[in-house]
Amino acid sequence: MTENKLPYNLRFVVRDYECDLQSVVNNANYQHYLEHARHEFLISKGVSFAELHNAGIDLIVTKVEIEYKFPLRSRDEFIVTVDIQREGNVRLCFIQDIYRLPDLKLVAKAKVTGAATKKGRPVSPGNLVLRLGLES
């Protein structure tokens, strides 16, 4: 895969404190990277995670699937991609990959399913879907 064919993506560098005693990035930190890339993606579409929260709507993650292909190490640079699909009436599905730079080696593949909720109950992502350019 070449970098100019990639979907939305965000660039990171591994910080030493993200590595654990196996000298690689701790598995849970990939979820942090994925989350930060999703939030920046949503903001690039005009959707603020924090503003939504203040308005009583939370975008919550209902399912995470991550395949770990190759570990990131201290100071590796990498990108996290974000693509989005609608799934049924209330779910949004984020397809996210992590590639090391500059060789674009595949580090991890993830599928993150989310839902919009109000007071803990699922609501139609309605307006969100329009902003994200998905068919309503």
Cβ proximity to its own copies: between 58 and 83 the closer is 58
Binding site for its own copies (CB under 8 A): 15-17, 19-23, 26-29, 31-32, 35-36, 39, 43, 49-50, 53, 58, 60-68, 71, 74-75
Cβ proximity to its own copies: between 2 and 17 the closer is 17
To its own copies, the closest distance from the beta carbon of 38 in angstroms equals 10
CA pseudo-torsion sign 60, 77, 27, 74: negative
To its own copies, the closest distance from the beta carbon of 82 in angstroms equals 15
- Ramachandran bin of 86, using left for φ above 0, alpha for ψ from -120 to 50, beta for the remaining angles: beta
Cβ proximity to its own copies: between 16 and 135 the closer is 16
To its own copies, the closest distance from the beta carbon of 77 in angstroms equals 12
User: What distance in Å separates the CA atoms of residue 1 and residue 6, rounded to the nearest whole number?
Assistant: 8
User: What distance in Å separates the CA atoms of residue 123 and residue 46, rounded to the nearest whole number?
Assistant: 19
- Which residue in 20, 83, 97, 103 is the catalytic one? 20
Q: Which helix (H) or strand (E) holds 109?
A: strand 106-118
Does the annotation count 97 as an active-site position? Answer: no
Instruction: Retrieve residue 30's tokens.
Output: 């990939």
Q: Are 93 and 27 in contact (CB under 8 A)?
A: no
Q: Which residues are catalytic?
A: 20
